[in-house]
Amino acid sequence: MALERLANELLFDVFEYLSCVDLFHAFNELNYRFNSLLIEYFRNQTYFDFRLMFKEDLNMIRRRYLPSFINEIKSICLSDDDQTPHEIDIFISRLYPLHRFQNLQSISLFNIYSIEKINRILDDLQQIPYLINLNLKQCYIKYDPKNILIMMNNIWSLVNLMDCCLDVYFEDVCHLIPPNIISCSIKHLSLSSFQCDLDNLSLLHEHTPYIESLSVDIWNPYDNHCQLSLISSLTTLKIKCESSSRIIQSLLRKVPNLVNLTVETKKINMDGHFWKEILNKYLLKLKLFNLKMEFAINATDNIEQEIDRIIDPYRDQFWINQNKWFVRCFSYVENDLSLIYLHTLPYCFKYFSININENVLFKSTCTTDNHYLTYNYVENLNYCCTTLEDINFPKIQFCNLQHLTLTFPYDDNFRCIVPQFNNLTYLEINMVNLSHYDNDLQQLQIIFDQAPNLYRLKFHSWLSIPSKFENKNKKTSNQTVWTMPPFSSRSSSVRYLDLRGINQSGQSQYYNDQHCLSLIRSPLGSQCEFLRIEVEKRTNIIDLVNTMNHLRTLNVRCRDRKINDDLIKWLQPRLPSTCSFAKDSTSPNDIRLWIR
């Protein structure tokens, strides 16, 4: 039965299974009926995610469709990442400044690289009366205290804002600069990319008096005594700390109504007795407690004895019977250090890293260590195996992975702890062992075959092969030649290739004419839509754009250039007129092209 014969109501049901991007790209300009259906459907939608949008589709939506449903939009998501560089500038134009979205309640902006741009957007948001949710995510900017203060004041001036996430990273470490404007509306705040001492946290609370949940990286380099006022409104707290136990204790003494506490620490000596005293003395209303701690000792020390010393305080009645809070401790050796991790169960963090070797060791306070083996919260796993021995450890499982960093070859344990790849969208690969090359390719293809949603592929490092070369004087010399990633491998779903790898000497791998030709002709290259690469010559950029028929964006670094402005001027007349350029402020040597 032809799709066109379906009733409008059934077609609307079909539309519900498609993203805004896919829906528009599939049905726009198909015929008059579908154009009308798109307009009617969009009028009834309140959330629009324009990430991954084709450039020509984005322009078409702005010109033809947006006027008819702009007042219905309540939530919007835009990004300036490598897949849609400068999308935000294109979308938020003079024709459609943000203040025209009068019923907007939530906005999420990704990968902005300019604090001035952020402040321009925030100025415009002041005129939107119903905005309650603001997310700035994966943004990378220069540390500029004056403009950061302006940003904070702009945010605190949004009169109805309730939820705010500032996932903003800086070239240098950024210490929190509190606003000097009071917000009586903000209740939920995430500042995990800022370092905050207790003095600034106290100022933050003074200007956010009704805050209920907070995520922050607390910091006290001098381990001195800090004053903090009582924060009675706070019920949910997530903190990271690498400085001292004193600042953690000082903070937790001032949040008596806390119900939910999540703590991540590194290099801080806090045992179970410390936590028991804190929880018993100051946090009497606490219901949920999630803890993750990391230690390091010399690999020559008795690691099992050290783990027993760390875990034993968590075996008493307070932990086991009264609260039913169990912990697991595991360790492995890396770079002559024994890394020790302790976490509460179930594990409630998104990231997990492990190096399987002959020194790996697991212990738990559960009556049987076979409990809490499913780590369902983990979305990002870093896995490496550096031993050929058969290791016996609890068969923990990661069933909801979206992001996997994997060193090849992997062992049999890996397939036990990662039983399926159905949710995997991003795979990062390290291949450094030439002796297992053929086996590595087989293992990689197995993952490809079992990962139907794998979209993004990054090669961190690749193999280098010693070779002998003969020069013009007939003399031979030894040189190292890196082999290319296995583009002959096949995955029907991969569309994003990140080839910014390094060789075993830590050098960048620049692609020459032959390398680029091999990439273009390969299965992965022929279907690639988004590409990050380093090339030897500027003509390689021309070849990639003109011959990779599905390529939509290109993030490129060229060895053959003096300054990027000159390279852009050279490229512009040689590339299709539809190509637009953006310089990536996180890497001044990079150029980003939005092709289609």
Q: What is the pLDDT of residue 405?
A: 97
Q: What is the pLDDT of residue 361?
A: 87
Q: Report d(CA 517, CA 150) in Å as an integer.
A: 49
Distances from the Cα of 116 to the Cα of 83, 122, 144, angstroms: 22, 10, 10
Q: Report d(CA 198, CA 569) in Å as an integer.
A: 50
pLDDT string in tens for the chain (596-residue length): 677 888 888 888 888 888 877 887 788 878 888 888 888 888 888 899 988 888 888 888 888 788 888 888 999 999 999 999 989 998 887 778 898 999 999 999 999 999 999 999 999 999 999 999 999 999 998 888 999 999 999 999 999 999 999 999 887 778 899 999 999 999 999 998 889 999 899 999 999 999 999 999 998 766 566 678 899 999 999 999 988 898 999 999 999 999 999 999 998 888 999 999 999 999 999 999 999 999 888 877 788 888 999 999 999 999 999 999 999 999 988 888 889 999 999 999 999 999 888 788 889 998 776 678 999 999 999 999 887 777 777 789 999 999 999 999 888 889 889 999 999 999 999 887 666 677 888 999 999 999 999 999 999 876 665 544 444 455 554 555 556 788 889 999 999 999 988 766 677 889 999 999 999 999 999 999 999 999 999 999 999 999 999 999 999 999 887 677 788 999 999 999 889 998 766 777 889 999 98
Count how many Cα atoms sit within 13 Å of the Cα of residue 198 in the half-sphere of its side chain.
25
Q: What is the pLDDT of residue 502?
A: 77
Taken in order 433, 439, 441, 447, the sign of the CA dihedral is: negative
**Secondary structure percentages of the chain, helix, strand, coil, to 5:** 30, 30, 40
- Residue 222: phi, psi to the nearest 5? -100, -5
Q: What is the pLDDT of residue 505?
A: 66
Q: What is the pLDDT of residue 465?
A: 58
Locate 310 and state its tokens.
């760390």
Residue 383 burial (C-beta neighbours within 10 Å; 0-12, 13-18, 19+): buried
Single out the residue of 580, 515, 564, 504 nearest to residue 543, CA to CA. 515
Q: What is the pLDDT of residue 470?
A: 46
Contact by Cβ (8 Å): 83, 496: yes
Distances from the Cα of 346 to the Cα of 138, 375, 415, angstroms: 28, 7, 21
Locate 263 and state its tokens.
């703590």
Locate 495 and state its tokens.
């569309």
Q: What is the pLDDT of residue 226?
A: 65
Contact by Cβ (8 Å): 578, 566: no
Q: What is the pLDDT of residue 38?
A: 83
Q: Which helix (H) or strand (E) holds 458?
A: strand 456-461
User: What is this structure's pTM?
Assistant: 0.90
Output Rg (C-alpha) for the chain, integer angstroms.
27
